[in-house]
Chains A and B, each alone.
Chain A
Amino acid sequence: MTGWPGGHASEASLLAVRSGLAEPLADLRAQTRHECPGRTAAIIDARIGQMITGQGGLEPFGELTDAEQAVVAVAEQFLLDAHGVDDALMARLTASYTPAETIAIMFQLAFADGFTKLRRVMGLPSDHQGGDD
């Protein structure tokens, strides 16, 4: 893929065009990541990134807990077709995580899905520190 037609070679430089938006967005993404319990943010980034880019994966995380496996299952269905994230799948998530944790996880999923696709479409490398993939 070629680079962003505006000449931006990275997500950071692209977002810097809208500095007023980039700052609150970066704060929201950082807060979301921080509020995700345990390793879930990193696991989400790794799995979503793997599914979209074909790179990386979950091997570095070793054996996943049942709760982490539920996060992966929701992440995979969320990416493929959010309509398929059904009551049973969400019940697996909410059985292990509080409502506040579940919201943070779902926000992380949305960011990972959206920004990984954005980078892919724009031909941008992953350069977001603490990134979404």
Chain B
Amino acid sequence: MSTVPRLPSAVEGQPAHFGTLLAHHPGLAVAFGSTYANFWTQGVLDHPTKETTRIRNARITDCGY
């Protein structure tokens, strides 16, 4: 997996990362943020279970988050 971003940052002076890449598409960034916030803060599943699945997924996919 490449460790070099394959798209440039959309924010001048900021390095390329998920947020600054998504900034190329402000509409999608807002919609993604709203969805992601709801996913993490609402629902019947407890937070440790959500976090456990997130960490496991990140390890398998070499995600740095």
Interface residues of A (CB under 8 A from B): 18, 20-21, 24-25, 27-28, 31-32, 35, 82-83, 86-87, 90-91, 94, 98-100, 102-104, 107
Given contacts A102-B7, A103-B7, contact A21 B39 (CB under 8 A): yes
Residue in contact with A28 in the complex, picked from B10, B32, B42, B62, CB distance below 8 Å: B32
Is B14 located at the chain interface by the 8 A CB criterion? no
Question: B24 near A21 (CB under 8 angstroms)?
Answer: no
Q: Which residue of A lies closest to B63 (CB)?
A: A82
**Chain A interface main SS type:** helix
Q: Which of B28-45 contact A (CB under 8 A)?
A: 28, 31-32, 34-35, 38-39, 42-43
Question: A86 near B31 (CB under 8 angstroms)?
Answer: no
Residue in contact with B35 in the complex, picked from A28, A82, A91, A104, CB distance below 8 Å: A28
Question: B28 near A31 (CB under 8 angstroms)?
Answer: yes
Question: A20 near B38 (CB under 8 angstroms)?
Answer: yes
16 residue pairs A–B, Cβ–Cβ below 8 Å = A20-B42, A21-B35, A21-B38, A24-B34, A25-B38, A27-B31, A27-B35, A35-B27, A82-B1, A90-B6, A94-B6, A99-B7, A99-B8, A99-B24, A103-B7, A104-B25
Question: A83 near B42 (CB under 8 angstroms)?
Answer: no
What is the size, in residues, of chain B's interface with A at 8 Å between Cβ atoms? Answer: 23
Q: Which residue of B lies closest to A102 (CB)?
A: B7
Given contacts A18-B43, A25-B35, contact A31 B27 (CB under 8 A): yes
Q: Which residue of A lies closest to B26 (CB)?
A: A100
Question: B43 near A82 (CB under 8 angstroms)?
Answer: no
Question: A87 near B35 (CB under 8 angstroms)?
Answer: no
Is B49 located at the chain interface by the 8 A CB criterion? no
Cβ–Cβ < 8 Å partners of A28 in chain B: 28, 31-32, 34-35
Cβ–Cβ < 8 Å partners of A27 in chain B: 31, 34-35
Measured in the bound complex, the distance between the Cα atoms of B62 and A10 in whole Å is: 32
Cβ–Cβ < 8 Å partners of B39 in chain A: 21
